[in-house]
Amino acid sequence: MESESSRSLTTADGRPIEPLDPAIRTIQPGGGTCMRIELAWGFIRRAYLKLFRRGYLRRMEACRQGDTNPCPHDCLDPRDVKFYRNQGGYHWDLSDDPFTWRDRIPFARVGFAEMIIFSLLFVGAAIGLWFVHPLLSIVPALLELEIIWFFRDPKRVTPSEPGLVVSPADGKIDVIEYLDHDDVIGGPAVKIAIFLSVFNVHINRFPVDAQVFKISHRKGKFKSATSPECALINEQLELFLESTDDARRVMRLRQITGAIARRIVCWVAPGDSLKRGQQLGMIKLGSRTELVIPQEQGLEILVELGDKVQAGETLFARYA
């Protein structure tokens, strides 16, 4: 991902890169109880560091980059910018970040708080119910296994052949719609939608090498994501992309909440450039993802209704 200083005001094809939607103040615009608990824990952690780890804080300050603090609190180390990394400002190089080891854990880093909080609840309930009757502990034990399964982050091998579009999400294809005209793309387009159940990996990935030139967020309802109509009324975050190959194709990627999944996470910002298959965020606990791509001569759609797909690996389409 490009740093704040490397972002230009326009894309390579001359499209203006718009400022981040003012409604998006964090990587998780919808907030949530787990996020509030994690932020409260951060207040305690920073107080501890100021009292007992002053040498560590001096080292972190010496290698900190950026001119402004994007956080509503003190920014002492890389953990403090977790929810504000899309706002620009303070950041650390990976070589100076003592917490990069967390990226090697096979679970979504932005889901650690939920995993810990729900594990305490479900494991505690399972232990307590075991003493009432062992069979009663089965339900919380299964819920705990589902939480662990939900936040898994498996390795993916992304194809490198030019002209390919890969799936931005795991799940099942339930919409393939040919549009006569898309206002953003400026011509005919194809919309492909994926339903993500609670059993799918929920990390979203870039479908092509592309630069983000706009991000918008819309509040909405939390109707069941099993129905394609939820895309019209549910909360959603949309990324507007320009491919960085010679074609400079414009695409739209939408993260849409569901009845259970109510927290969209997106840590990229306008001006960022990512490679095909790179992670951009996730939707927590069941949702939809839609991708709209230009329809042009030579385009081959490689998926069908009902196909099960994997983010970053499954081929969606091929441009000639």
Q: Does residue 2 form part of some domain?
A: no
CATH code of the domain in which 290 resides: 2.70.70.10
- Tell me: do 124 and 215 sit in the same domain: no
Instruction: Tell me how far the alpha carbon of residue 163 is from its chain's centroid.
Output: 24
Tell me how far apart the alpha carbons of residues 238 and 130 are, in angstroms, rounded to a whole number. 45
Show the domain range for 173. 164-318
Catalytic residues: 287
Whether 114 and 100 map to the same domain: the answer is no
Span 144-200, pLDDT tens digits: 999 999 999 999 999 999 999 999 999 999 999 999 999 999 999 999 999 999 899
Query: What letter would DSSP give residue 18?
Result: P
Does 176 lie in the same domain as 294?
Answer: yes
Confidence class of residue 6 from pLDDT cuts 50, 70 and 90?
very low
- Judge if pTM exceeds 0.85: yes
pLDDT over 90 (residue 1): no
173 and 51 in a common domain: no
Report the alpha-carbon distance of residue 64 to residue 212 in Å, rounded.
25
| Pair (274, 192) in one structural domain | yes
Same domain, 227 and 181: yes
Burial class (CB in 10 A: 0-12, 13-18, 19+), 77: buried
- Give the residue-averaged pLDDT of 116-141: 96
In one letter, which amino acid is 86?
N
Of 70, 89, 104, the residue that ends a domain is: 104
Q: Which of 26, 40, 29 is nearest to 89 (CA)?
A: 26
Say how many domains are in the chain: 3
